[in-house]
Chains A and B, each alone.
Chain A
Amino acid sequence: LAKTTQPISMDSYEGQEVNITCSHNNIATNDYITWYQQFPSQGPRFIIQGYKTKVTNEVASLFIPADRKSSTLSLPRVSLSDTAVYYCLVGTGNNDMRFGAGTRLTVKP
């Protein structure tokens, strides 16, 4: 399983774009990159998944460089309600889900 490294915490202000980077230097050829969001007292929520280049949905964008050794979750114009823990996971369908410590994002007014 590819190990992931994320910043422990980040602060931002409402209306700003937030970029959270995840390092996964030993990502395997078949591995996908998936991001989850978890609010206090709730289960994690799937945000976005990608394999290479860029993926965008209504919530976020995921940027993956050509070497795939890192990825960046981009949250446009965050609001207070985006305060949560964000997890980066890397693996294939045959592997279990290993959540790291995640990045605690705090959005301030």
Chain B
Amino acid sequence: DTAVSQTPKYLVTQMGNDKSIKCEQNLGHDTMYWYKQDSKKFLKIMFSYNNKELIINETVPNRFSPKSPDKAHLNLHINSLELGDSAVYFCASSYLGTSAFYEQYFGPGTRLTVT
């Protein structure tokens, strides 16, 4: 009955590899997000999709490419991984609306370690 799920939970890979993280929500929300939390614990939004359309695209390297096959799924593909990409990546979802936007439900996170 997990509301927002991510796979994998842990991901260890080498520099230069390409990897994907998957996210699914069963809350019926129309908007999904990807966040990055670095070693200093700052949580920063990366992307947001509403009904499969990109609505927020923060300044992240173009090696990061989100893909939303439907409104319940938002995947994150990362090309040519670098050491600085090591972080915890969180997926979240919500309804899009003035206050509802801020009531987001987060997944458990994917800890990415690039060696």
Contacts and interface: CB of A to CB of B under 8 A. Distances in A.
Interface of A: 30, 32, 34, 38, 41-46, 49, 51, 85, 87, 89, 91-94, 96-99, 101-102
A24 to B, nearest CB: 13
A15 B90 CA distance: 32
B103 interface: yes
13 contacts: A30-B98, A32-B99, A49-B99, A92-B101, A93-B96, A93-B99, A94-B101, A96-B48, A97-B33, A97-B102, A98-B44, A99-B42, A102-B41
Contacts of A44: 43, 90, 104, 106
Interface residues of B, number: 27
Contacts of A34: 102-103
Interface of B: 4, 33, 35, 41-45, 48, 56, 58, 90, 92, 96-109
Contacts, number: 64
A43 B92 contact: yes
Task: Classify the interface of chain A: helix, strand, loop or mixed.
Answer: loop
Task: Classify the interface of chain B: helix, strand, loop or mixed.
Answer: mixed
Contacts of B101: 92-94, 97
A3 B43 CA distance: 15
A38 B104 CA distance: 13
A96 B109 CA distance: 19
Contacts of B97: 93
B107 A92 contact: no
Contacts of B100: 93
A85 B40 CA distance: 13
Nearest to A30: B98
Contact of B109 (A43, A85, A99): A43
Contact of A97 (B41, B45, B98, B108): B45
B42 A101 contact: yes
A92 B41 contact: no
B96 A98 contact: no
